[in-house]
């Protein structure tokens, strides 16, 4: 017990308080500068861009993963090769974000019009008569091309959790509904979805936490260029830019922290309920 407590103290509890303290200090963490780092952040265009992009990620990625995960889990339950299909869709979970970035950078690879396209996305578009594009350099929309990578990885997680939850639905309930003449679609929306509501929340929060911290993908694909900056990458940048600015870096980290606080409170409430049971 003791070593665990010491490590938690040194690596998590002390740093959290230290980061909060540093956010009120200058770049070397020596002089108290009040809220000037926060003022800087709110006026910095990169920071604003990051906040907007993080919001975009937070809306799109968990939603899409949950939707796709549930769809795939439901479909895979109905076909004989479902287990095989799930294995293939789950596989990206094992791949690093950097590895996945290489995979997708290759998919998005762009060659000038008229050349043979070696990226499959542009090749398909050219095949159907369209023009090739440098996808990751198109402002705003490139965010979505980066999100695709995260969705590609995380849908597998949503899928296996839904699969486990679907199996927990009592067979009698479904049977009864079928005998009463309910269509598969009705069963899905009126029985399965309510049954899964808690699972949906769990998946949502898990992916949300992950998305708040998205870093590797952005660093590897664009390093925040072309309007794709996110908080975690901006923070990393400030940690080392010009010898490192611990004040600004800490301030940005705190904004990431701000995003997980609601989830933290929700987790604590659930933990309390469990204790009282």
Partner 1 sequence: MKHFSFGKFLAHFFLLIIVFIWVIPTFGLLISSLRDKDQVALTGWWTALKHNEFNEIVRTEKSTVQFKENGVFVISGNLLKNSSSKSVINFGITSKNPKAFKAPSKVTMKNGSTFYLQKDGSYRWTSDKEFKHKKGKRIFLTVNTPPSLTLENYKEVLVFRGLGQSFINSLTVAVPSTIIPLIIGAFAAYALSWMNFYGRDLIFATIVCLLVVPLQMSLIPILTVYNQIGNFFGVSAKSYVGIWLAHTGFGLPLKIFLLRNFIKSLPHEMFEAARVDGASHYQIFMKIILPLSIPAFASIGILQFLWVWNDLLVALVFLDKMPSEIVLTSRLREMLGEFSQNWEILTTSAFVSMIVPLFVFLSLQRYFIRGLVAGSVKG
Instruction: Report the site for partner 1 in 12-51 (rule: CB under 8 A).
Output: 12-16, 18-19, 22, 29
Q: How far is the CB of 75 from partner 1 (least distance, A)?
A: 4
The helix (run of H) or strand (run of E) holding residue 14 is helix 14-22
Locus of tokens 């090749």: 123
Residues 6+ apart with CB under 8 A from 71: none
Would you say how long the chain is, in residues?
A: 277
Of the candidates 39, 55, 59, 106, which one interacts with partner 1 according to CB under 8 A? 106
Q: Counting contacts by CB under 8 A, is residue 167 touching partner 1?
A: no
Q: Counting contacts by CB under 8 A, is residue 214 touching partner 1?
A: no
CB 244 within 8 A of CB 28: no
Query: Residue 25: beta bridge partners?
Result: 32
Q: How far is the CB of 112 from partner 1 (least distance, A)?
A: 13
Q: How far is C-alpha 143 from the geometric centre of its chain's CA atoms?
A: 12
Q: Counting contacts by CB under 8 A, is residue 206 touching partner 1?
A: yes
CB 152 within 8 A of CB 100: yes
CB 230 within 8 A of CB 214: yes
- The residue range among 45-53, 116-124, 131-139, 169-177 that interacts with partner 1, by the rule CB under 8 A, is 116-124
Q: Counting contacts by CB under 8 A, is residue 147 touching partner 1?
A: no
The helix (run of H) or strand (run of E) holding residue 53 is helix 45-76
Of the candidates 62, 216, 224, 228, which one interacts with partner 1 according to CB under 8 A? 216
Instruction: Pick the closer one to partner 1 by CB: 143 or 252.
Output: 252
Of the candidates 63, 173, 225, 267, which one interacts with partner 1 according to CB under 8 A? 267
Q: How far is the CB of 43 from partner 1 (least distance, A)?
A: 22
Contact code string over 232-261 relative to partner 1, x by CB under 8 A: x--xx--x------x--xx-xxx-xx--x-
3-state secondary structure of 25: strand
């Amino acid at each position: 017990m003791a070593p665990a407590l010491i490590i938690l103290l040194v690596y998590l509890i002390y740093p959290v308080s230290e980061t909060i303290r540093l956010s009120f200090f200058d770049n070397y963490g020596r002089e108290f500068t009040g809220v000037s780092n926060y003022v800087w952040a709110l006026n910095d265009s990169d920071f604003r861009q990051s906040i907007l992009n993080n919001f975009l990620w937070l809306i799109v990625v968990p939603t899409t993963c949950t939707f796709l995960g549930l769809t795939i889990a439901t479909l895979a339950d109905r076909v004989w090769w479902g287990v095989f299909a799930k294995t293939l869709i789950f596989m990206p979970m094992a791949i690093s974000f950097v590895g996945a970035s290489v995979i997708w950078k290759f998919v998005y690879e762009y060659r000038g019009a008229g050349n043979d396209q070696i990226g499959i996305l542009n090749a398909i578009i050219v095949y159907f008569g369209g023009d090739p594009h440098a996808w990751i350099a198109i402002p705003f929309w490139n965010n979505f091309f980066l999100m695709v990578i995260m969705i590609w990885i995380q849908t597998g997680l949503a899928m296996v959790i839904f699969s486990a939850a679907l199996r927990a639905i009592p067979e009698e309930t479904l049977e009864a509904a079928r005998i009463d003449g309910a269509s598969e679609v009705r069963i899905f929306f009126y029985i399965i979805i309510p049954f899964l509501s808690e699972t949906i929340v769990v998946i949502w929060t898990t992916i949300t936490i992950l998305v708040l911290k998205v870093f590797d993908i952005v660093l590897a694909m664009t390093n925040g260029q072309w309007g794709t900056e996110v908080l975690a990458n901006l923070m990393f940048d400030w940690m080392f830019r010009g010898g490192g600015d611990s004040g600004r870096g800490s301030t940005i980290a705190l904004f990431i922290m701000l995003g997980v606080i609601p989830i933290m409170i929700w987790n604590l409430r659930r933990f309390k309920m469990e204790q009282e049971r």
